[in-house]
Amino acid sequence: MTATVIDGKAIAAALVAGIAKTVERLVLTQRLTPGLAVVLIGDNPASTVYVRNKVKQCELAGLRSQLHHLPADVREDDVINLVRGLNGRDDVHGILVQLPLPPQVRAAAVIETIDPAKDVDGFHVVNVGRLFGGLPGALVPCTPQGCLHLIFSVRRDLSGLAAVVIGRSSIVGKPMAQLLLDENCTVTIAHSRSADLPAICRGADLLIAAVGRPQMVRQDWIKPGAIVIDVGINRVADGRGGSRLVGDVDFAAALTVASAITPVPGGVGPMTVALLLRNTLIAACRQRGIDEPEV
Ligand code: NAD
Protein backbone atom coordinates (compact mmCIF):
# COMPACT_ATOMS: atom_id res chain seq x y z
CA MET A 1 0.00 0.00 0.00
CA THR A 2 1.19 3.53 -0.70
CA ALA A 3 -0.60 6.09 1.40
CA THR A 4 -2.23 9.21 0.03
CA VAL A 5 -0.07 12.15 1.07
CA ILE A 6 -2.43 14.80 2.42
CA ASP A 7 -1.32 18.11 0.93
CA GLY A 8 -1.77 20.52 3.83
CA LYS A 9 -0.21 23.34 1.87
CA ALA A 10 -2.78 23.10 -0.92
CA ILE A 11 -5.72 22.56 1.45
CA ALA A 12 -4.62 25.56 3.53
CA ALA A 13 -4.21 27.69 0.38
CA ALA A 14 -7.76 26.84 -0.71
CA LEU A 15 -9.07 27.73 2.74
CA VAL A 16 -7.17 31.03 2.78
CA ALA A 17 -8.53 31.84 -0.70
CA GLY A 18 -12.08 31.29 0.59
CA ILE A 19 -11.36 33.48 3.61
CA ALA A 20 -9.96 36.20 1.35
CA LYS A 21 -13.16 36.20 -0.74
CA THR A 22 -15.32 36.46 2.36
CA VAL A 23 -13.19 39.27 3.77
CA GLU A 24 -13.47 41.15 0.47
CA ARG A 25 -17.26 40.86 0.66
CA LEU A 26 -17.35 41.97 4.31
CA VAL A 27 -15.24 45.03 3.53
CA LEU A 28 -17.61 46.00 0.69
CA THR A 29 -20.95 45.21 2.28
CA GLN A 30 -20.33 45.75 5.99
CA ARG A 31 -17.28 48.02 6.04
CA LEU A 32 -15.69 45.39 8.25
CA THR A 33 -12.01 44.49 7.94
CA PRO A 34 -11.20 41.72 10.43
CA GLY A 35 -8.15 42.71 12.48
CA LEU A 36 -5.62 40.54 14.29
CA ALA A 37 -3.18 41.82 16.91
CA VAL A 38 -0.14 39.63 17.52
CA VAL A 39 1.98 40.08 20.63
CA LEU A 40 5.55 38.78 20.36
CA ILE A 41 7.87 38.95 23.35
CA GLY A 42 11.62 38.60 22.90
CA ASP A 43 13.50 37.11 19.96
CA ASN A 44 12.90 33.36 20.09
CA PRO A 45 13.80 32.40 16.49
CA ALA A 46 10.94 29.90 16.02
CA SER A 47 8.37 32.33 17.45
CA THR A 48 9.70 35.11 15.22
CA VAL A 49 9.27 32.93 12.12
CA TYR A 50 5.74 31.84 13.17
CA VAL A 51 4.66 35.43 13.87
CA ARG A 52 6.10 36.75 10.62
CA ASN A 53 4.17 34.08 8.74
CA LYS A 54 0.91 34.82 10.57
CA VAL A 55 1.19 38.53 9.80
CA LYS A 56 2.04 37.83 6.15
CA GLN A 57 -0.89 35.44 5.70
CA CYS A 58 -3.25 38.02 7.22
CA GLU A 59 -2.14 40.55 4.64
CA LEU A 60 -2.54 38.05 1.78
CA ALA A 61 -6.12 37.33 2.87
CA GLY A 62 -7.03 41.01 3.29
CA LEU A 63 -7.18 41.00 7.08
CA ARG A 64 -5.61 43.85 9.01
CA SER A 65 -2.77 42.82 11.31
CA GLN A 66 -0.67 44.61 13.85
CA LEU A 67 2.46 43.31 15.52
CA HIS A 68 3.38 44.34 19.05
CA HIS A 69 6.98 43.31 19.62
CA LEU A 70 8.03 43.65 23.25
CA PRO A 71 11.52 43.17 24.73
CA ALA A 72 12.36 39.85 26.45
CA ASP A 73 12.66 41.60 29.84
CA VAL A 74 9.20 43.23 29.66
CA ARG A 75 7.20 43.25 32.92
CA GLU A 76 4.08 41.10 33.17
CA ASP A 77 2.01 44.17 34.09
CA ASP A 78 3.03 45.86 30.86
CA VAL A 79 1.94 42.86 28.80
CA ILE A 80 -1.38 42.71 30.64
CA ASN A 81 -1.95 46.42 30.11
CA LEU A 82 -1.21 46.05 26.40
CA VAL A 83 -3.74 43.20 26.14
CA ARG A 84 -6.36 45.25 28.06
CA GLY A 85 -5.84 48.06 25.58
CA LEU A 86 -6.28 45.67 22.64
CA ASN A 87 -9.46 44.27 24.24
CA GLY A 88 -10.94 47.76 24.02
CA ARG A 89 -10.10 48.48 20.38
CA ASP A 90 -12.84 48.23 17.76
CA ASP A 91 -10.38 47.50 14.94
CA VAL A 92 -8.89 44.49 16.76
CA HIS A 93 -11.11 41.41 16.58
CA GLY A 94 -8.49 38.80 17.43
CA ILE A 95 -5.60 38.83 19.90
CA LEU A 96 -2.80 36.27 19.83
CA VAL A 97 0.03 36.20 22.34
CA GLN A 98 2.79 34.05 20.86
CA LEU A 99 3.99 31.37 23.28
CA PRO A 100 6.36 30.56 24.94
CA LEU A 101 6.69 33.62 27.18
CA PRO A 102 9.76 34.59 29.22
CA PRO A 103 9.75 33.29 32.82
CA GLN A 104 8.70 36.58 34.45
CA VAL A 105 5.49 36.69 32.38
CA ARG A 106 2.91 34.07 33.37
CA ALA A 107 1.16 32.71 30.29
CA ALA A 108 -2.01 31.89 32.28
CA ALA A 109 -2.27 35.46 33.62
CA VAL A 110 -1.86 36.96 30.15
CA ILE A 111 -4.26 34.54 28.44
CA GLU A 112 -6.93 35.10 31.08
CA THR A 113 -6.72 38.83 30.38
CA ILE A 114 -7.67 38.38 26.71
CA ASP A 115 -11.35 39.07 26.01
CA PRO A 116 -12.71 35.54 25.27
CA ALA A 117 -14.50 36.96 22.21
CA LYS A 118 -11.07 37.96 20.81
CA ASP A 119 -9.19 34.84 21.97
CA VAL A 120 -8.47 33.48 18.47
CA ASP A 121 -6.05 30.86 19.84
CA GLY A 122 -8.91 29.40 21.87
CA PHE A 123 -6.80 29.11 25.03
CA HIS A 124 -8.95 31.23 27.40
CA VAL A 125 -10.79 29.23 30.06
CA VAL A 126 -14.15 30.42 28.68
CA ASN A 127 -13.40 28.99 25.23
CA VAL A 128 -11.88 25.83 26.72
CA GLY A 129 -15.01 25.44 28.86
CA ARG A 130 -17.32 25.92 25.88
CA LEU A 131 -15.41 23.36 23.80
CA PHE A 132 -15.25 20.72 26.52
CA GLY A 133 -18.73 21.50 27.81
CA GLY A 134 -20.28 21.10 24.36
CA LEU A 135 -21.54 24.69 24.49
CA PRO A 136 -21.94 26.90 21.42
CA GLY A 137 -19.68 29.82 20.60
CA ALA A 138 -16.25 28.41 21.40
CA LEU A 139 -13.21 29.71 19.56
CA VAL A 140 -11.41 26.40 19.02
CA PRO A 141 -7.58 26.05 19.00
CA CYS A 142 -6.22 26.32 15.48
CA THR A 143 -3.92 23.29 15.23
CA PRO A 144 -6.50 20.64 16.18
CA GLN A 145 -9.09 22.35 13.96
CA GLY A 146 -6.57 22.18 11.13
CA CYS A 147 -5.97 18.49 11.77
CA LEU A 148 -9.71 17.82 11.55
CA HIS A 149 -9.89 19.62 8.18
CA LEU A 150 -7.05 17.43 6.91
CA ILE A 151 -8.78 14.27 8.11
CA PHE A 152 -12.02 15.39 6.41
CA SER A 153 -10.11 15.77 3.14
CA VAL A 154 -9.75 11.99 3.02
CA ARG A 155 -12.72 10.80 5.09
CA ARG A 156 -15.83 12.74 6.06
CA ASP A 157 -17.61 10.33 8.41
CA LEU A 158 -15.44 9.45 11.42
CA SER A 159 -18.22 7.86 13.42
CA GLY A 160 -17.11 4.74 15.29
CA LEU A 161 -13.43 5.01 14.37
CA ALA A 162 -10.82 4.22 17.00
CA ALA A 163 -8.75 7.40 17.33
CA VAL A 164 -5.50 7.61 19.26
CA VAL A 165 -4.05 11.02 20.09
CA ILE A 166 -0.46 10.88 21.32
CA GLY A 167 0.18 13.96 23.48
CA ARG A 168 -2.03 15.60 26.09
CA SER A 169 -1.12 19.27 25.82
CA SER A 170 -3.82 21.90 26.24
CA ILE A 171 -3.08 23.41 22.86
CA VAL A 172 -3.03 20.26 20.73
CA GLY A 173 -3.67 16.87 22.32
CA LYS A 174 -6.64 17.58 24.60
CA PRO A 175 -8.69 19.76 22.23
CA MET A 176 -7.90 17.32 19.39
CA ALA A 177 -9.33 14.48 21.46
CA GLN A 178 -12.47 16.51 22.20
CA LEU A 179 -13.02 17.37 18.52
CA LEU A 180 -12.70 13.68 17.61
CA LEU A 181 -15.10 12.72 20.40
CA ASP A 182 -17.55 15.24 18.94
CA GLU A 183 -17.16 13.37 15.62
CA ASN A 184 -18.18 10.15 17.39
CA CYS A 185 -14.75 8.54 17.46
CA THR A 186 -13.73 6.29 20.33
CA VAL A 187 -10.80 8.30 21.59
CA THR A 188 -7.69 7.27 23.50
CA ILE A 189 -5.25 9.90 24.70
CA ALA A 190 -1.74 8.48 25.06
CA HIS A 191 1.18 10.32 26.67
CA SER A 192 4.66 9.99 28.10
CA ARG A 193 3.49 7.65 30.88
CA SER A 194 1.30 5.41 28.71
CA ALA A 195 2.20 1.72 28.97
CA ASP A 196 2.98 -0.04 25.68
CA LEU A 197 2.43 2.92 23.37
CA PRO A 198 3.09 0.84 20.20
CA ALA A 199 0.23 -1.52 21.11
CA ILE A 200 -2.12 1.42 21.79
CA CYS A 201 -1.23 2.96 18.43
CA ARG A 202 -1.74 -0.33 16.58
CA GLY A 203 -5.42 -0.15 17.52
CA ALA A 204 -5.89 3.23 15.85
CA ASP A 205 -7.90 3.77 12.67
CA LEU A 206 -6.94 7.40 13.13
CA LEU A 207 -3.57 8.22 14.66
CA ILE A 208 -2.64 11.78 15.66
CA ALA A 209 0.93 12.32 16.84
CA ALA A 210 1.52 15.54 18.79
CA VAL A 211 4.59 14.82 20.85
CA GLY A 212 7.71 16.61 19.66
CA ARG A 213 9.97 13.55 19.32
CA PRO A 214 11.50 13.01 15.88
CA GLN A 215 10.16 9.99 14.02
CA MET A 216 9.04 8.28 17.22
CA VAL A 217 6.08 6.51 15.58
CA ARG A 218 7.50 3.52 13.71
CA GLN A 219 6.01 1.54 10.85
CA ASP A 220 4.92 -1.38 13.03
CA TRP A 221 2.97 0.98 15.35
CA ILE A 222 0.55 1.78 12.53
CA LYS A 223 -2.54 -0.27 11.75
CA PRO A 224 -2.71 -1.07 8.02
CA GLY A 225 -5.01 1.46 6.36
CA ALA A 226 -4.91 3.98 9.22
CA ILE A 227 -5.10 7.73 8.65
CA VAL A 228 -2.02 9.34 10.23
CA ILE A 229 -1.80 13.02 11.15
CA ASP A 230 1.67 14.19 12.16
CA VAL A 231 1.61 17.38 14.23
CA GLY A 232 5.22 17.23 15.40
CA ILE A 233 7.80 19.71 14.17
CA ASN A 234 11.34 18.62 15.00
CA ARG A 235 14.60 20.00 13.67
CA VAL A 236 17.25 17.30 13.16
CA ALA A 237 20.72 17.18 11.59
CA ASP A 238 20.57 16.42 7.87
CA GLY A 239 23.95 14.65 7.82
CA ARG A 240 25.47 17.34 5.58
CA GLY A 241 26.18 19.86 8.31
CA GLY A 242 22.75 21.46 8.06
CA SER A 243 19.34 20.63 9.46
CA ARG A 244 15.89 19.63 8.28
CA LEU A 245 12.41 19.34 9.73
CA VAL A 246 10.83 15.99 10.51
CA GLY A 247 7.61 15.03 12.23
CA ASP A 248 6.85 12.60 15.06
CA VAL A 249 6.22 9.82 12.53
CA ASP A 250 8.75 7.88 10.45
CA PHE A 251 7.14 9.23 7.26
CA ALA A 252 8.85 7.06 4.61
CA ALA A 253 8.08 3.86 6.49
CA ALA A 254 4.53 4.92 7.38
CA LEU A 255 3.77 5.55 3.69
CA THR A 256 3.83 1.81 3.06
CA VAL A 257 1.22 0.94 5.68
CA ALA A 258 -1.12 3.93 6.26
CA SER A 259 -3.98 4.83 3.89
CA ALA A 260 -3.28 8.56 4.24
CA ILE A 261 -0.64 10.62 6.00
CA THR A 262 0.40 14.25 6.40
CA PRO A 263 3.97 15.26 5.56
CA VAL A 264 6.25 17.49 7.65
CA PRO A 265 6.68 20.20 6.53
CA GLY A 266 3.61 20.92 4.40
CA GLY A 267 0.97 19.12 6.46
CA VAL A 268 -0.48 20.48 9.67
CA GLY A 269 1.72 23.61 9.87
CA PRO A 270 0.07 25.63 7.05
CA MET A 271 -3.38 24.65 8.36
CA THR A 272 -2.68 26.17 11.78
CA VAL A 273 -2.18 29.60 10.22
CA ALA A 274 -5.22 29.24 7.92
CA LEU A 275 -7.44 28.37 10.89
CA LEU A 276 -6.08 31.37 12.78
CA LEU A 277 -7.33 33.61 9.96
CA ARG A 278 -10.67 31.79 10.01
CA ASN A 279 -11.00 32.23 13.79
CA THR A 280 -10.26 35.94 13.38
CA LEU A 281 -12.90 36.22 10.67
CA ILE A 282 -15.46 34.41 12.83
CA ALA A 283 -14.58 36.54 15.87
CA ALA A 284 -15.00 39.73 13.80
CA CYS A 285 -18.44 38.65 12.53
CA ARG A 286 -19.61 37.70 16.03
CA GLN A 287 -18.42 41.01 17.47
CA ARG A 288 -20.39 42.85 14.77
CA GLY A 289 -23.47 40.64 15.14
CA ILE A 290 -23.14 39.37 11.55
CA ASP A 291 -24.00 35.75 10.66
CA GLU A 292 -20.90 33.57 10.59
CA PRO A 293 -19.72 32.96 7.02
CA GLU A 294 -19.45 29.45 5.60
CA VAL A 295 -15.72 29.03 4.99
P1 NAD B 1 3.98 19.59 24.55
O2 NAD B 1 5.44 19.44 24.85
O3 NAD B 1 3.16 20.57 25.31
O4 NAD B 1 3.29 18.17 24.74
C5 NAD B 1 3.88 17.00 24.28
C6 NAD B 1 3.08 15.80 24.73
O7 NAD B 1 3.74 14.64 24.29
C8 NAD B 1 2.93 15.69 26.24
O9 NAD B 1 1.56 15.58 26.55
C10 NAD B 1 3.67 14.42 26.60
O11 NAD B 1 2.97 13.63 27.58
C12 NAD B 1 3.73 13.66 25.30
N13 NAD B 1 4.95 12.87 25.22
C14 NAD B 1 6.22 13.29 25.44
N15 NAD B 1 7.07 12.24 25.28
C16 NAD B 1 6.31 11.18 24.97
C17 NAD B 1 6.62 9.83 24.69
N18 NAD B 1 7.86 9.37 24.71
N19 NAD B 1 5.60 9.00 24.40
C20 NAD B 1 4.32 9.47 24.37
N21 NAD B 1 3.99 10.74 24.61
C22 NAD B 1 4.97 11.58 24.92
O23 NAD B 1 3.89 19.81 23.00
P24 NAD B 1 2.74 20.43 22.07
O25 NAD B 1 2.71 21.89 22.23
O26 NAD B 1 1.49 19.64 22.22
O27 NAD B 1 3.39 20.12 20.64
C28 NAD B 1 3.67 18.80 20.22
C29 NAD B 1 4.42 18.84 18.90
O30 NAD B 1 3.60 19.47 17.93
C31 NAD B 1 5.72 19.67 18.93
O32 NAD B 1 6.64 19.06 18.04
C33 NAD B 1 5.30 21.01 18.39
O34 NAD B 1 6.36 21.70 17.77
C35 NAD B 1 4.26 20.59 17.38
N36 NAD B 1 3.26 21.61 17.10
C37 NAD B 1 3.00 21.84 15.79
C38 NAD B 1 2.04 22.78 15.45
C39 NAD B 1 1.76 23.01 14.00
O40 NAD B 1 1.17 24.01 13.65
N41 NAD B 1 2.13 22.08 13.12
C42 NAD B 1 1.35 23.47 16.44
C43 NAD B 1 1.60 23.18 17.77
C44 NAD B 1 2.56 22.24 18.09
- Of the pLDDT bands very low, low, confident and very high (cuts 50, 70, 90), residue 260 is very high
CA atoms within 13 A on the CB side of 95: 28
Q: Which of 115, 121, 230, 250 is catalytic?
A: 121
Any atom of ligand 1 within 6 Å of the Cβ of 99: no
Centroid of ligand 1 to alpha carbon of 165 (angstroms) = 10
Rounded mean pLDDT, 50-62? 96
**How much is the pLDDT for 175?**
98
Q: Per mean pLDDT, which range of 31-35, 121-125, 256-260, 289-293 is the poorest?
A: 289-293
Is the predicted pLDDT of residue 148 greater than 90, yes or no? Answer: yes
Angle at 74 between CA 97 and CA 98, to 5 degrees: 15
Is the predicted pLDDT of residue 1 greater than 80, yes or no? Answer: no
- Of the pLDDT bands very low, low, confident and very high (cuts 50, 70, 90), residue 163 is very high
**How much is the pLDDT for 235?**
95
Distance between CA 125 and CA 182 in Å, rounded? 19
Is the predicted pLDDT of residue 140 greater than 80, yes or no? Answer: yes
Distance between CA 269 and CA 58 in Å, rounded? 15
Determine what percent of the chain is predicted with pLDDT higher than 70: 100
DSSP letter assigned to residue 6: P
**How much is the pLDDT for 171?**
97
Is the predicted pLDDT of residue 29 greater than 80, yes or no? Answer: yes
**How much is the pLDDT for 111?**
98
Distance between CA 109 and CA 102 in Å, rounded? 13
Rounded mean pLDDT, 149-161? 98
Using CB atoms within 10 A of its CB, is residue 5 exposed (0-12), middle (13-18) or buried (19+)? Answer: middle
Model pLDDT for residues 98-123, shown as the tens digit of each residue: 999 999 999 999 999 999 999 999 99
Q: What is the CA radius of gyration of the chain?
A: 19
Model pLDDT for residues 231-243, shown as the tens digit of each residue: 999 999 999 999 9
**How much is the pLDDT for 97?**
98
Distance between CA 215 and CA 232 in Å, rounded? 9
Mutate to test the pocket of ligand 1, among 44, 49, 231 (most ligand atoms within 8 A of CB): 231
Mean pLDDT, the chain, integer = 98
Rounded mean pLDDT, 56-81? 98
- Please tell me the residue having the least CA distance from ligand 1 atom 22: 192
